[in-house]
């Protein structure tokens, strides 16, 4: 049976553009078809939806509980203050934005990794500022047999302290950033190969927050993780979306990496982010003892 909307696959190993649908008024049949498409394509792009904050939260709740970020169900990822003035590049919130330009999956540095995310564009710069995703299912399947066997036996710690330190960002309690991810627990230890709890497909779990593979010295660990990202995040396993205000996307954080693309930060960019909480039974990771 055809879905009650139009779905156009991207020119990549994943992703689709969905039209002919109103995300604020989904029938039971539309929702079931949409969820099935999400599990298959991992990234769904909805042009011109123009959701309010409340509507975005309600749509995200369709996929599961909301992961609160600094106690909030929706947050602005933005270089603009509420009064419309630009935030200086020395502020921690802008340093986080710059960090997000590296490939990553959300909340891998937390005990429970996020299931997914809903993202919408409110203010878009004239050039740059897109978002790119990479298919870690196809990347795992494309690995040479020997590498696939090796990485399937390995794990890595994940830490926002680590990833931001690579940019020279040292977190301080006296900051404009809400502090999410800068916790005082030992970093989670996650396998490099993840089995999707709903589809059963295996994928790589890597990205900028990953470091310190047990059993490898730091230099060997860093080299392997960098090589995996470089291999994984290349065509046809990548797609970059150029935003138009009103666009909405939802992605499966359990099998995709993503990153923001650079833009002139003297120009405003306002994106609204709602994170879908992971199931503790499938997304929990124990802590290691590597420190933060």
Mean pLDDT of the chain: 93
96-126: per-residue pLDDT in tens? 899 999 999 999 999 999 999 999 999 999 9
* 35-61 pLDDT per residue, tens: 999 999 999 999 999 999 999 999 999
227 alpha carbon, distance to own chain's centre:
20
CA separation for the pair 1, 145 (Å, rounded): 37
* 3-state per-residue secondary structure call for 173-242: CCCCCCCCCCCCCCCEEEECEEECCCCCCEEECCCCCEECCCCCCHHHHHHHHHHHHHHHCCCCCEEEEC
Asked whether residue 291 is assigned to any structural domain, the reply reads no
Evaluate whether residue 238 is within a structural domain: yes
Summarised one tens digit per residue, pLDDT across range 235-265 is: 999 999 999 999 999 999 999 999 999 999 9
The single-letter DSSP state of residue 82 is T
**Chain-centre distance for alpha carbon 55:** 20
Flag whether pLDDT at 179 surpasses 70: no
Count of domains for the chain:
1
In a domain, 65, yes or no: yes
In DSSP notation, 130-176 reads: -EEEEEHHHHHHHS-HHHHHHHTT-EEEE-HHHHHHTTT----SSSS
Burial 200-224 (b: 16+ CB within 10 A, else e): ebbbbbbbbbbbbbeeeeeeebbeb
**pLDDT of amino acid 169:** 67
User: Does 284 reside within a domain?
Assistant: no
Answer yes or no: is pLDDT of 173 > 80.
no
- Provide the percentage of residues in the chain whose pLDDT is more than 70: 93
Of 4 and 238, which is predicted with more confidence?
Answer: 238
Asked if residue 283 is part of any domain, the answer here is no
| CA 285 – CA 243 distance, rounded (Å) | 34
pLDDT of residue 172: 61
What's the domain range around 130? 6-278
**In 3-state terms, what secondary structure has residue 275?**
strand
Q: Are strands 189-191 and 66-67 parallel, antiparallel or unpaired?
A: unpaired
CB 285 within 8 A of CB 159: no
Q: What's the distance, CA 179 to chain centroid?
A: 18
What is the CATH number for 253? 3.60.130.10
Residue 175 pLDDT > 90, yes or no?
Answer: no
CA 5 to mean position of chain CA atoms:
25
Q: How many helices (H) and strands (E) does the chain have?
A: 8, 16
Residue 245 within any structural domain of the chain: yes
**Sign of torsion, CA 89 92 97 98?**
positive
Any domain includes 288 = no
- The terminus-to-terminus CA distance of the chain in angstroms comes to 50
Confidence of residue 3 (pLDDT cuts 50, 70, 90): confident
What is the predicted pLDDT for the residue at 292?
34
For residue 204, pLDDT over 60 is answered with: yes
* pTM (2 d.p.): 0.94
Q: Is the pLDDT of residue 290 over 50?
A: no
> Mean pLDDT over residues 14-39, rounded?
97
Q: Is residue 71 in some structural domain?
A: yes
């Amino acid at each position: 049976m055809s879905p009650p909307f139009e779905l156009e696959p991207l020119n990549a190993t994943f992703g689709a553009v969905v039209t002919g649908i109103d995300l604020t008024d989904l029938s039971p049949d539309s929702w079931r078809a949409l969820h099935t498409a999400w599990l298959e394509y991992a990234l769904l792009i909805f042009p011109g939806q123009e959701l309010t904050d409340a509507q975005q939260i309600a749509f995200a709740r369709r996929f599961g509980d909301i992961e609160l970020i600094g106690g909030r169900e929706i947050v602005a990822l933005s270089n603009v203050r509420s009064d419309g003035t630009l935030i200086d590049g020395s502020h921690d919130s802008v340093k986080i934005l710059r960090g997000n330009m590296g490939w990553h999956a959300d909340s891998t540095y937390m005990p429970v990794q996020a299931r997914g995310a809903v993202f919408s564009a409110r203010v878009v710069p004239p050039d740059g500022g897109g978002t790119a995703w990479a298919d870690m299912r196809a990347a795992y399947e494309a690995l040479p047999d020997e590498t696939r066997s090796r990485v399937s036996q390995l794990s890595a710690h994940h830490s926002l302290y680590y990833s931001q330190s690579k940019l020279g960002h040292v977190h301080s309690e006296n900051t404009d950033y809400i502090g999410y991810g800068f916790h005082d627990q030992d970093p989670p230890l996650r396998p490099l190969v993840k089995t999707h709890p709903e589809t059963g497909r295996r994928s790589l779990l890597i990205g900028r927050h990953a470091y310190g593979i047990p059993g490898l010295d730091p230099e060997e660990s860093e080299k392997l993780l960098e090589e995996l990202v470089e291999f994984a995040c290349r065509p046809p396993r990548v797609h970059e979306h150029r935003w138009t205000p009103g666009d909405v996307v939802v992605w499966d954080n359990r099998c995709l990496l993503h990153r923001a693309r650079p833009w002139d930060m003297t120009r405003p960019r306002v994106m609204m982010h709602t994170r879908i909480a992971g199931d503790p039974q499938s997304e929990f990771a124990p802590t290691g003892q590597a420190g933060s």
